[in-house]
Amino acid sequence: MSNFFDKSDLVRKDAENIVSDTLKNCDDGELYLEDSKSESIILDDNKIKSSNYSSDLGFGFRAVSDEVVAYSYSNEISKDSLKSSSENLKSTIKSVKGTYNNEIPKSNKKFYSDINPIEQKTLNSKLEVLNKVNDYLRKKDESVKQVTANFLGEHKSVEIIRSGGEAITDIRPLIRFNVSVMLERNGRKETGVYGIGGRQGYDDYLQNDKWKNVCEEAFRIASVNLESKPAPAGEMKVVLGPGWPAILIHEAIGHGLEGDFNRKKTSAFHNLMGQKVASEGVTIVDDGTIDNRRGSLTIDDEGTPTERTVLIENGILKNFMQDRLNARLMNTRSTGSGRRENYRHVVLPRMRNTMMLSGNQTQDEMIKSVDKGIFAVSFGGGQVDITSGKFVFNCTEAYEIINGKIGSPIKGATLIGDGPSILKEVSMVGNDMMLDPGIGTCGKAGQGVPVGVAQPSILIDKMTVGGTKL
Amino acid sequence: MIKDQGFLEAKAAYCLDVAKKIGASDASVTIGHSISETVNFRNKNLDESNRSDGLAFSIDTYIGKKKSSISSSNLLDENLYILIEKCYETTKITPEDEFNSLPDKNLLADKLKDLNIYDNTHIDNDKKIYYLKELENIASEDKKIINTESSFTEKKTNFILANSDGFCSGYKTSSFTTSCVAVAKDENSMERDYEYSSKRYLDDIKDPQTLGKLASHQTIRKLSPKKIGSEKLSVIFDKRIAKGMLSAFASAISSSAIARGTSFLKDQIDEQIFSNSINIIDKPDIIKGLGSKNFDSEGIKSETLNLVKEGVLKNYLVDTYNGRKLNLQSNGRSGGTTNLYFENGKQSYEELLKTNSKCIYITETIGHGSNLVTGDYSVGATGFLVENGEFKYPINEITIAGNFKDMFKKISLANDLDFEYSTNSPTMLIEGMTVAGK
């Protein structure tokens, strides 16, 4: 655990006093301290292209009064700096009547261990893996023209000091390993990308030549795309494969169920609580408590223990995801969903691991039931317009379905749909729920946070496919 | 107050000194400081105030052709020493790369032009609040507007870039940005749109009334959208979207994509990639320009580049490392373009709208549907159906798709260029794209 005070003229007691004094007439707020170390090592074009290490230390001080948030951050942990932040907050929040809510739930459960993944493996051994990846892929096939592989590792130590001196801490490891390969055959070029990761050490994901599976998968996706034909354009049936395609759930439904957009009534879901928003058999949860997953957190960035929040149960909208501010203003409790990218940013309600649970049908049944449609296996990024509810995502591996059979691979196309109605178009839910490989980052208001998704195969009766072939 | 040049230079000198003393053969360091103050409003009330004050340090250390880098926000000398030592140790075990080196000395910027990109004016939060009140009062006048969110940010930065070849330079910049996001509702739909203004000088930002009116108007006109059928159509890109076409082009001609062979524009120098009416320019010395700079992120002097002349690709965007790989001299584009723009076309905006009896006018795209390896393009879109030059009704939940190689050749431009952003395009028409809807 980082001691944020041992190299500073600021002693813990003074910090506690400044926090208590600043927040005395406020409804909420805290001092958030963060010490993070991260590394990025990239092999590209046959060479170690870069090896970066970064260390970042700072605090963010927040005061909340009714709906108003005042925030100030600095990367200098000192008495002067904290005092000047305090003055800044006081000048915005002129509240005299707030009642600070001291209640914050406690839990002893931890969902990952206190390891530092960066220190666990030497730089030399990381370089060795990257070089092996490069050699393995380039020897595999002469169509391999470019290989990029990289390690990203992070070790983040946080402490939250609340009014009255209560302190809550967490240590968060996170790693990611990615391989991208470009193939060229008969003048055509295509890329395939695959990655794995989570809140464990590198070797938990890579030992026993597990890195080879990542290479094989990236190569397979690129090979499939070399044979791809132009994608169709227009409305049709879409079968989604299990796992990572659940970013559809994340974009289409997840963002619209975040507390802030619903308190502000700018989400297309704000007046649908308790109503049917999905077909029967569709249950969606947002879970921060799965061991070692990329989106898991022992506590959120306000100190609330995370939980498994049921968002939609058998088609009915049950809960929004809440941080403390939006929960208080909506007369409910925090679901442990308050997150921030780092100390430079305010807390917002965010997703953790968003999952659609398994049903009874098989992927085979779904494919067989489709006369004309597409089968989407993997996606790149997605995006949503919260207000209109329209969302998109981009296929990186997809096939046409003709008369109940999987046909040729098709080129990357955007799929577009309407969030509030898409889950009503789900006519089959598979029995094959799968977690994604641990690679997702969600962006909101300029802040990126690590997230996970999961789903079984599903059949959507109607979606617009944005190909070029009419 | 933003830290002055003296403070940053002293830190940079300390870092170079430490790196040399420890044993690095070369080093390059950037020290930056930025302060930004934001006030956010929502439904005519204060929602959030946010002040940030951040220092940043990054260093590249070289041992011959070996290189590695480190960055931190903690600028205490003691911490810098530990990090530079760590960086040096990492450099030792990093493999050599023959193309690694500091930039060519005789390409470095020698004297700085005054580009008028720093306005020392400070606007305090009470004045920001006054502006936002005015803005939201206007923006929410119409009953259909049910939510407004607006913000006002003042940002000041200063930096020093120094290397062990004796380069040491930097300068202050400022920006003032105001924005308004409105949500409108009618019996059929709820829609969101926005308007913003970002300038180097406080006096140049749009007045609150103009900004509020635009945000409100642009949102209300999107209400009750329809979904159209799938067909080949001409697509007109509003200026705020058309600039995205230039950004995709810029990524595809970056020397790193070219050297790696992962761009659809590889080996296209001196080839006709646009129609011969198209000229693309990257001009770093526009007075008050949002993308203006004296030198790139390596210290190399930036000069105006004609990237595309009469439709023919003339230059890539070259930095030192990838330039060495490609046997090209750096043209001062490490870190990307500066003020990038299409020159005006010949037709007026009205003439462009009337080019086809039926077309769609796009005001927003969503998704990341640009594949720069193949040039394939497919994104979600919202906008309007236009018939005989007239806006008929709003449309959404459609996609537009094509391939850049083909789309670039079919671009025609209006003559309404202005410099609202760092990348700017006149209103753009692309014929024969695939529109997917019902």
Q: Does A413 touch chain B (CB under 8 A)?
A: yes
Is the Cβ pair A412, B376 closer than 8 Å?
Answer: yes
Cα-based angle A88, A6, A172 (whole degrees, multiple of 5): 80
Q: Which of residues 254-273 of A touch B (CB under 8 A)?
A: 264-266, 268
pLDDT category, B220, cuts 50, 70, 90? very high
Number of Cβ within a 10 Å radius of residue A271: 9
**Digit-coded pLDDT (tens) for A407-456:** 999 998 899 999 888 999 999 999 999 999 999 999 999 999 999 999 99
pLDDT of residue B335: 94
Mean per-residue pLDDT for B240-249? Answer: 97
Domain extents in chain A: 117-158+171-226, 233-466
For residue A1, the model assigns a pLDDT of: 62
- Per CB-CB distance under 8 Å, the chain A contacts of B87 are 53
What span, in angstroms and rounded, lies between the C-alpha atoms of A150 and B434? Answer: 36
Q: Could you tell me if B180 and B194 are in contact, meaning their C-beta atoms sit under 8 angstroms apart?
A: yes
Q: How far apart are the first and last CA of chain B?
A: 56
Model confidence pLDDT, tens digit, residues A203-233: 999 988 999 999 999 999 999 999 999 999 9
Hey, what CATH topology would domain B5-220 get?
PmbA/TldD fold (3.30.2290)
User: Across residues B406-420, what is the average pLDDT?
Assistant: 97
Between B281 and A120, residue with greater pLDDT: B281
Q: Six-digit token pair at A29?
A: 């707020």
Residues of B in contact with A184 (CB under 8 A): 261
Count other C-beta atoms under 10 Å from residue A60's C-beta: 24
pLDDT tens readout for residues B346-357: 999 999 999 999
Number of Cβ atoms within 10 Å of the Cβ of A86:
19
Q: In 10 A of CB B80, how many CB atoms?
A: 21
Most A CBs within 10 A among B128, B371, B396, B404, hence the mutation to make, goes to B371
Q: Which residues contact B333 (CB under 8 A, 6 or more apart)?
A: B254, B255, B282, B296, B302, B305, B317, B318, B319
Show the tokens assigned to A385: 């317009």
**Chain B hits for A71, Cβ within 8 Å:** 48-51
Across the interface, whether the CB atoms of A50 and B68 are under 8 A apart is answered yes
Separation CA A26–CA A172 (nearest Å): 29
Contact B73 A382 (CB under 8 A): no
Q: How confident is the model at residue B245 (pLDDT cuts 50, 70, 90)?
A: very high
- Section A353-382 average pLDDT: 95
Average pLDDT score over residue span B44-65: 93
Task: Give CA A240 to chain center in angstroms.
Answer: 20
Name the minimum distance, in Å, from the CA of B214 to any CA of chain A: 19
pLDDT above 90 for A102: no
Q: Is A24 left (phi over 0), alpha (psi -120 to 50) or beta?
A: alpha
In B186-273, which ranges are E strands?
A: 190-199, 231-237
Q: Is B86 on the interface with A (CB under 8 A)?
A: yes
Query: How does strand A440-444 pair with strand A447-455?
Result: antiparallel
What distance in Å separates the CA atoms of residue A393 and residue A387, rounded to the nearest whole number? Answer: 17
CA gap B433, B438 in Å, rounded: 16
B307 touches chain A (CB under 8 A): no
Residue of chain A with shortest Cα separation from B48: A69
Q: Where are the domains of chain B?
A: 5-220, 226-438
Residues with Cβ within 8 Å of B167's Cβ and at least 6 positions away in sequence, in order, are: B108, B161, B299
pTM of the model: 0.91
Indicate the average pLDDT of chain A. Answer: 94
CA-to-CA distance for B138 and B142, rounded, in angstroms?
A: 8
User: Which residues does B130 contact at the CB level (< 8 Å), separation at least 6?
Assistant: none
Residues A348-363: what's their mean pLDDT?
97
- When pLDDT is cut at 50, 70 and 90, the band that residue B223 belongs to is very high
Select from A40, A45, A147 the residue whose CB has the most chain B CBs within 10 Å, as the one to mutate to test that interface.
A45
Tell me the pLDDT band of B176, cut-offs 50, 70 and 90: very high
- Contact state of A265 with B147 under an 8 Å Cβ cutoff: yes
B97 CB neighbours in chain A (<8 A) are 47-49
Q: Is residue A57 over pLDDT 80?
A: yes
Mean pLDDT within A60-79: 93
Cβ–Cβ of B436/A466 closer than 8 Å?
A: yes
Say if strands B190-199 and B172-185 run parallel, antiparallel, or are unpaired: antiparallel
Q: Please judge whether A392 and B399 are an interchain contact, meaning their C-beta atoms are less than 8 angstroms apart.
A: yes
Helix (H, G, I), strand (E, B) or coil at B52: strand
CA A53 vs CA A50, B220, B318, B335, B404: distances in Å = 10, 48, 26, 20, 37
> At A26, is the pLDDT very low, low, confident or very high (cuts 50, 70, 90)?
very high
Confidence of residue A95 (pLDDT cuts 50, 70, 90): low
ipTM for this model: 0.86
Check CB contact of B73 with chain A, cutoff 8 Å.
yes
Confidence of residue A76 (pLDDT cuts 50, 70, 90): confident
**Residue B219: its pLDDT value, please?**
98
Phi, psi of B339 (to 5 degrees): -100, 100
Contact of A387 with chain B, judged by CB distance below 8 Å, is answered with yes
Tell me, what's the pLDDT at A343? Answer: 96
- Average pLDDT of every residue of chain B: 96
